[in-house]
């Protein structure tokens, strides 16, 4: 099976780091109590998702042909036809993102931006139920989109048997007559992409104060949780006050 190189290295690195940090943030938020020190890593992972999104937005204009946003298939009619074909017959193959994956990517990007903004707003001390509800809704939409995307890839593989699932690993897709792939995978840019992410994670770790669970990001202090010993002291204070009232 002849293949064409489609996805450059920065795009593939982004894909897996984006998935990893989102899932890490989601799993921590779903399984760890927000009073636990471990919950802070939900927010640190979320900030990394936001950083990765910024890098991807830049690469969406400066990257290779199929990394650019102008290669996305965002015509609503084309999406409708694609979904219809998936149900009744076999979908058209695309060398770039197909309409379904194009819309999935845009939805995930929008959700990631919304999650970062709402998360930062809550961590900066803004007490507003809107941000909390929006944060939870966006996380749910993101997760549903991820699941739908994975199911779509598996369904495509079942229909076409063209190893689409591996394209975000090796960057290759089954060739399409008349369509040409990219000539360079931009390895140096990919290495820089990975290094920038490591530097960002290191920066967050360096700015994070585990004692009071605060994070200073470019002069903005974010509260990633309450100190457990403070909560314990407050609880003891309430108990002492209640005992005093009972004695009176």
Asked whether the predicted pLDDT for residue 110 surpasses 70, the reply is yes
Angle at CA of residue 68, ends 13 and 138, nearest 5°? 70
- pLDDT for the residue numbered 231: 41
CB 79 within 8 A of CB 99: yes
Torsional sign, CA 69, 72, 77, 83: negative
DSSP symbols for 50-95: HHHHHHHHHHHHHS-TTTSGGGS---HHHHHHHHHHHHHS-PPP-S
What pLDDT shows up at residue 35? 87
pLDDT at 235: 45
Question: pLDDT band at 156, cuts 50/70/90?
Answer: confident
Band (243; pLDDT cuts 50, 70, 90): low
Task: Map tokens 């000539």 to a residue.
Answer: 183
pLDDT digits (tens, 9 = 90+) for 182-238: 999 999 999 999 999 999 999 999 999 999 999 999 989 999 875 444 444 444 455
pLDDT tens digit string along 10-62? 999 999 999 999 999 999 999 999 889 899 999 999 999 999 999 999 999 99
Whole-number Å distance between alpha carbons of 175 and 125: 52
User: What's the CATH number for 3-241?
Assistant: 1.20.950
């Amino acid at each position: 099976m002849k293949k064409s190189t489609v996805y450059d290295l920065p795009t593939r690195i982004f894909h897996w780091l984006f998935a990893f940090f989102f899932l890490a943030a989601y799993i921590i938020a779903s399984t760890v109590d927000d009073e636990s020190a471990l919950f802070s890593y939900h927010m640190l992972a979320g900030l990394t998702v936001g950083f990765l999104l910024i890098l991807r937005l830049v690469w969406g204009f400066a990257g290779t042909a199929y990394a650019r946003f102008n290669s996305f298939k965002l015509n609503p009619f084309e999406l409708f036809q694609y979904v219809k074909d998936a149900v009744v017959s076999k979908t058209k193959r695309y060398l770039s993102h197909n309409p379904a994956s194009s819309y999935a990517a845009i939805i995930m990007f929008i959700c990631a931006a919304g999650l970062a903004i709402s998360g930062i707003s809550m961590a900066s001390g803004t007490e507003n139920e809107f941000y909390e509800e929006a944060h939870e809704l966006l996380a749910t939409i993101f997760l549903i989109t991820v699941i739908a995307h994975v199911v779509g890839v598996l369904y495509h593989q079942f229909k076409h048997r063209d190893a689409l699932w591996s394209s975000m690993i090796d960057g290759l897709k089954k060739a399409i007559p008349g369509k040409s792939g990219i000539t360079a995978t931009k390895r140096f840019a990919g290495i820089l992409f990975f290094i920038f992410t490591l530097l960002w994670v290191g920066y967050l770790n360096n700015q994070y104060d585990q004692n009071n669970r605060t994070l200073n990001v470019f002069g903005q202090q974010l509260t990633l949780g309450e100190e457990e010993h403070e909560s314990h002291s407050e609880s003891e204070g309430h108990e002492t006050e209640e005992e005093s009232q009972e004695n009176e």
